[in-house]
């Protein structure tokens, strides 16, 4: 199988993250890091971001746990085929890249998602109960 690249982002923007040093995670590693004022600031979100790269192989199973005590953390997982990208979040701005860049959007009702359900459905964005339901939906759609 051909190698592929999986990009893990705490948030996404091409310009702010392009200048950032490349951080790499090896399969099987545990990485602990913190967002600081030295990380790129995403103006649209008023959020700091980090980009990580993971080298893997098609069909390989990888588990990524992202947690934060001080803020609502989220990750975007991107592979080489944009049509297979999945954008999951509890705000419409979290899933907006799916409309601009391609892929699927899933709004979770947990966190702040419950306040965005009506608008998400009006925009034909699927709504799921929580991250576990989002993961199940992504796996079903693969």
CA angle 75, 6, 26 (to 5 degrees): 95
Question: Any idea which residue has 């890091």 for tokens?
Answer: 33
Name the more confident of 123 and 50. Answer: 123
Give pLDDT tens digits for 31-66. 888 888 888 877 666 777 888 887 777 777 777 777
What's the pLDDT score for residue 43? 67
pLDDT at position 117 over 90: yes
pLDDT at position 2 over 70: no
List, in sequence order, the alpha helices (H) in the chain. 14-18, 92-101, 117-122, 131-141
pLDDT at position 10 over 60: no
What is the DSSP code string of 34-69? ---TTSPEETTTTEE--EEEEEEETT---------S
pLDDT at position 84 over 70: yes
CA pair distance 70, 119, nearest whole angstrom: 27
CA pair distance 36, 56, nearest whole angstrom: 28
Indicate the pLDDT class of residue 106, thresholds 50, 70 and 90. Answer: very high
Q: Of how many residues is the chain composed?
A: 142
What's the pLDDT score for residue 7? 40
CA pair distance 26, 23, nearest whole angstrom: 10
**Structure tokens of 12?**
């996404």
């Amino acid at each position: 199988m051909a190698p592929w690249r999986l990009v893990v982002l705490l948030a996404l923007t091409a310009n702010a993250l392009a200048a950032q040093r490349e951080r790499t995670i090896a399969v099987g590693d545990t990485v602990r890091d913190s967002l600081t004022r030295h990380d790129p600031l995403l103006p649209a979100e008023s959020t700091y971001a980090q980009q990580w790269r993971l080298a893997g192989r098609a069909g390989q199973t990888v588990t990524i746990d992202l947690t934060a005590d001080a803020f609502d953390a989220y990750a975007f997982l991107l592979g080489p085929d944009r049509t297979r990208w999945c954008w999951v979040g509890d705000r419409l701005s979290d899933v907006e890249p799916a409309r601009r860049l391609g892929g699927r959007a899933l709004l979770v009702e947990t966190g702040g998602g419950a306040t965005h359900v009506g608008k998400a459905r009006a925009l034909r964005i699927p709504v799921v109960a929580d991250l576990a339901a989002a993961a199940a939906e992504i796996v079903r759609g693969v």
